[in-house]
A and B are shown apart, each in its own frame.
Chain A
Amino acid sequence: MRFRRSDPEPEAVADPTRGIELRGVSHRYDDRPVLADLDLHLTEPRIGIVGANGSGKSTFARLLNGLVVPTDGRVLVDGLDTRTSVRAVRRRVGFVFQDPDAQIVHPTVAEDAAYGLENQGVPAPERAVRVTEALARYGLDGHADHPAHLLSGGQKQLLAIAGVLVMRPARVVFDEPTTLLDLINARRIVRIIDDLEQQVVVVTHQLDLLAAFDRVLVIDGGRVVEDAAPRPAIAAYRALMEGR
């Protein structure tokens, strides 16, 4: 039986100690395989994902909060299956996209920051407090009523991050968060990621961002070809790319 989005989700109890588990995961778009035979247990606080364009890393990231449900296998977040408990999973796993323009859905800064909280049914007074805190934390407190499209690229990415972190997810996935930013804003985002208390999974081409991470996965052709500490993993990734 296939779970539909409109169906009520079965009651499931999350176990935060279990982390993220991928069991026999493969995924294909129509007939095109994108990921194959992934068996992973992600528990480290800082995990990086690297790989060439089209290697499957963005699809991998989307598996982690149920934006993509694998065609085969299971993804479990704190014991919750992304196939059957997708809403509960998304409350636990925030997702920051590469292009903030596609993530910001409301006309003004404060309204957009509050969007996820509205969906969670957070009462208005608490929403206002949490939005104020989040905007202040990311240097947007003077922009609460500003039109979002007039923000700079860096500010938009900060707003996108604020809009996710205001929901207080237990884990956050970043899909190439610094790709569209200049050096100063990229460093700022890196510092924000460093300071997060949550478990963080970052897909990136910026290899120096991963130096202090706990674990780095190298994805190539839809498979994890290296899974190690940053130094050996990045060395393996460089060797892989130089061989082409």
Chain B
Amino acid sequence: MTLALYVARQSAVHRMPAGAKLLALALLAVVLFAVPTLPVAAAGLLGVLAVGLGAARLPVASLARQARTVRWWLAGLFVFHALFSDLPTAAVTVLRLLALVLAAAVVTATTRVTEMVAVIEWLCAPLRVFGVRPARIGLVIAMALRFIPVLAERADRIREAQAARGGSARGLRGVRTTVTPLLVQLLQMAHTISEALDARGADDEPPARGRRSPVTAA
């Protein structure tokens, strides 16, 4: 399981500020939904492919993987609209949604998590007046992305350990025998993670930290 979708390349798209890419994504969505015609939807999709595969030099597989994850949903929408509306409407609906899914994939594949988190921190900056620390929100998001695969791996290990002893993860008993040890492990892990955060200075308030710059190997 992987949530880190960043694909390292030297390209103008990669170098664009994350905020600009997110804004472009939002504008694309507005245009596609405000002008629901087949030429606009097709142009949107072709434009996204040109940016992703051409300008950003992303591998076809990285976009194809995202398209595959929504293929049945798109197929269902197409059939629904073909039956209850008409074929052009079905085509527009599917093309614009596919264009948006792929555009989002291009943004995530060309933007490091720290850059994305920096935008979120910037957006959350007004919450400082209520005592909220935007850096903490950014850290939580980064940690969620980091630990979801770890949790999945731990759950797999527990299921394997049970299978090795003839157990099954199916049914209510299976849920209980998987969830309980997983929760215990998570609580132990959470304690160690909090210690690790402390040990690496999470409690420090860096002097006048502004927007976080992307962390790259120089």
Chain A residues engaging chain B, CB cutoff 8 angstroms: 5, 62, 65-67, 86-87, 90-91, 94-95, 97, 99, 101-108, 110-116, 118-121, 124-125, 127-129, 131-132, 135, 141, 144-150, 163-164, 167
* Cβ-closest chain B residue relative to A99: B192
Contact B213 A145 (CB under 8 A): no
Given contacts A5-B203, A106-B143, A145-B217, 15 further A-B contacts (CB under 8 A): A67-B199, A90-B200, A94-B199, A97-B199, A99-B192, A102-B189, A105-B142, A107-B4, A108-B4, A108-B112, A111-B112, A118-B212, A119-B204, A121-B208, A164-B199
Instruction: List, in ascending order, chain A residues with CB within 8 A of B215's CB.
Output: 110-111, 113-114, 118, 124, 127-128, 131
Contact A95 B199 (CB under 8 A): yes
> Bound complex: CA of A91 vs CA of B102, how far in Å?
44
Instruction: List, in ascending order, chain A residues with CB within 8 A of B202's CB.
Output: 119
The reply to whether the CB of B196 lies closer than 8 angstroms to some CB of chain A is yes
The 10 tightest CB contacts between A and B, nearest first, are A121-B206, A119-B201, A124-B213, A147-B4, A144-B217, A102-B192, A95-B199, A128-B218, A114-B215, A145-B8
* Cβ-closest chain B residue relative to A91: B201
> Bound complex: CA of A147 vs CA of B113, how far in Å?
11
The reply to whether the CB of B15 lies closer than 8 angstroms to some CB of chain A is no
B87-104 contacts to A, CB under 8 A, are: none
> Bound complex: CA of A144 vs CA of B6, how far in Å?
11
Instruction: List, in ascending order, chain B residues with CB within 8 A of A102's CB.
Output: 189, 192-193, 196
Pick from B139, B149, B153, B195: contact of A147, CB under 8 Å:
B149
Instruction: List, in ascending order, chain A residues with CB within 8 A of B212's CB.
Output: 118
Contact A107 B145 (CB under 8 A): yes
The reply to whether the CB of B114 lies closer than 8 angstroms to some CB of chain A is yes
What mask results when residues 165 to 200 of chain B are scored 1 for a CB within 8 Å of chain A, else 0? 000000000000000000000000100110111111
Contact B200 A147 (CB under 8 A): no
Pick from A67, A99, A131, A147: contact of B217, CB under 8 Å:
A131
